[in-house]
Amino acid sequence: MFSALANPARFMAFSRWAAPILALVAAGLIGAGLWLGLNAPPDYQQGDTVKIMFIHVPAAWVAMMAFACLGGASFISLVFRHALADAAARAVAPLGAAFTGVALVTGSLWGRPMWGAWWVWGDARLVSVLVLFLLFLGYLALRASIDDEAKGARAAEILALVGLVNLPIIHYSVQWWNTLHQGESVMRAGGSALAPVYLTPLLLAGAGYSAAFGALWLARIRSEVWRRRATSLALRAALA
């Protein structure tokens, strides 16, 4: 019990400062990125909808990153039985679902004026983000439905790893499906052809979103560590 707390203690000391600093960095980067982005001239093809790109594409990036973090933390927790890794996996899933949801809503609002439809199945990236959202929901549902904490953690880890192995295949299969049913001309965004006036704010916002994700993740892991301490203290008080 106390040896398990040794590492979390070091983590708590570190994250106490790292989380607010990361949050400040995130606010600065997102502020700078959006300032430049909102000042950007309308794109000759997309018009002013290009301004949605600066918030949609970073959210989709972070959503993918969050699933990779979920899989990585689950792997560490499963193999090395590290308590903090399980706390990290548990903490990252709601954030990943939220970023995925933001990416879906903004993508839909981007698609409406560009494609004339709220949702176009012809865009492979949008569809794989949707499947990603469903994977996060499945993880959260499994975790929420198991009362026994240790068993819930282990089952969720196995599911996260199965999902992590599957995710590249899902991504590839959706892309392949998309080329198969080619019809709509899909807009190209985030490619290397992007002009610097759009690329700079996009990269700034992407870095800012990643920092915000990091800050929120650290804060949620801290919250999870406190939750566990409170549970074990309450148990000890009940047994005494």
Partner 1 sequence: MTEHLFSAGKYAAYVWPAYGASVLGFAWMIIDTLARARSWRRKVDRLEADRARET
Partner 2 sequence: MTVLMVLIRRELSLAWARGGGALLAVGFFVAAAVMLPLSLGPAPARLAAVSAGVTWVVLSLASLLSLDRMFERDFDDGALDLLALGPLPLEVVAAVKCLAQWTVSGAPLSIAAPVVAVALGARPEAAPMIFVAAALGGLAFAFLGGTGAALALASRRGGVLIAVIVLPLLTPPVIFGGAAISNFADRLPWITAVSLLAAYALACVALTPFAMAGACRNAQS
Which residues of this protein are in contact with partner 1, per CB under 8 A? 38-42, 47-49, 51-52, 55-56, 59, 94-95, 98-99, 101-102, 105-106, 109-110, 112-113, 212, 216, 219-220, 222-223, 226-227, 229-230, 233-234, 236-237, 240
Q: Tokens 């990269």 belong to which residue?
A: 203
Distance CA 216, CA 218 (A): 5
31 binds, among partner 1, partner 2, none (CB under 5 to 8 A by kind): none
6 binds, among partner 2, partner 1, none (CB under 5 to 8 A by kind): none
Which residue number, 164 or 187, has a Cβ lying nearer to partner 2? 164
Q: Per rule CB under 8 A, is residue 134 in the interface with partner 2?
A: yes
Q: Which of residues 62-91 bind partner 2 (CB under 8 A)?
A: none
Q: 130-143: string of b/e by CB count within 10 Å (b at 16+)?
A: bbbbebbeebbeeb
- 182 near partner 2, rule: CB under 8 A: no
DSSP 240: -
Give the one residue of 46, 108, 173, 200 binding partner 2; rule: CB under 8 A: 173
Query: How many CA atoms does the CB half-sphere of 56 hold within 13 Å?
Result: 18
Query: Does 159 help bind partner 2 (rule: CB under 8 A)?
Result: yes
Residues in the chain: 240
Nearer to partner 2, 117 or 158 (CB): 158
Binding status of residue 146 toward partner 2 by CB under 8 A: yes
- Residue closer to partner 1 (CB basis): 202 or 212: 212
**Cβ distance 117 to 52 under 8 Å?**
no
Residues forming a β-bridge with 170: none
Query: Would you call 47 helix, strand, or coil by DSSP?
Result: strand
Place of tokens 């590249």: 168
State yes or no: residue 164 binds partner 2 (CB under 8 A). Answer: no
Q: Which residues contact 160 (CB under 8 A, 6 or more apart)?
A: 70, 71, 74, 89, 139
Considering only 22-30, 60-68, 154-162, 224-232, which stretch makes contact with partner 2 by CB under 8 A?
154-162
Assess 155 for contact with partner 2 (CB under 8 A).
yes
